[in-house]
Amino acid sequence: MSDEMTGKFEEADGAEIFYRYAVSKDDKAGVVICHGLGEHSGRYTNLTDLLRPAHIAYFAMDHRGHGRSSGRKGRILRFEQLLSGVRQTVDFARAQLGEGKKLILFGHSMGGLIAANYALRFPESIDGLILSGAALKLAAPVPAVKGAAGKLLSSIMPGLAMGNELDVNGLSRDRAVVEAYLADPLVHDRISTRLFTELLNGMDSAHTRAKALTLPTLIFHGGADILTHPEGSKEFFDAISSEDKTLKIYDGYFHETLNELGKEAVLDDVMAWINAHI
């Protein structure tokens, strides 16, 4: 039986952020999970189902404009709003875990970009970082005209939303995963002009400041990912100053390595890393 619980916390502007978590007094550590663009916190059961038997708590929020959190789909005004949601979740996790227990931040895709920037901004609040298929580099360059138009629209119409152009067939080679994604009522394909430009700014910020990162870090990426470029993970890995850092590229794997054919190898690696760092 699942011991998962849910709740909501309120942001300064009144936005409600939904979160799910599972924790007990016997847990030896915790993991905060940041999901990707258009999805939600409930799509990480392949990981959370392994964390609980290992006596590791998890805490996962739906980012603003995603899942069960408030806000229009795919819309934010500032990247800091995403970081704020993570900070509140980290603070909640710390309070639930109690003193002396390690807390690791995990982020996938857009969530990986958020997690990387969070770790650079608030390194003292976490004990380790895991980045999965992080959106540190787009799979294809943004054409100059599109980039300029995006910046203009972000300035004058920040709430304008459009399709995110995500090729769902690039999520996983497991067709059942793709079909479940398409059928999930909490998944959406919207991205606002402001979110688009804020994510680009977040990529620049992460790479510019990467050298400051000294936390133990695991970075992994699907070698055949067509949604976020594996080179972004490699470049970030090379730039960070962490003495304890690991990079894994899974040849032939698509974007969602935790939901891929052969996901067991990835999950084993993730769990081994977590257990070695708590």
Which residue in 234, 235, 227, 230 sits closest to 208, CA to CA?
A: 235
Of 40, 188, 255, 277, which residue is the catalytic one? 255
> What CA–CA distance (Å, rounded) separates 213 from 120?
6
Which residue in 247, 255, 244 sits closest to 277, CA to CA?
A: 244
Of 132, 172, 225, 242, which residue is the catalytic one? 225
State yes or no: is 233 an active-site residue.
no
> What CA–CA distance (Å, rounded) separates 185 from 203?
29
Query: What six digits make up the tokens of 58?
Result: 């998890």
Q: 3-state class of 72 per DSSP?
A: coil
State yes or no: is 225 an active-site residue.
yes
Of 41, 69, 109, 154, which residue is the catalytic one? 109
Cβ neighbors of 10 (< 8 A, separation 6 or more) are: 16, 17
Catalytic positions, written as ranges: 109, 225, 255
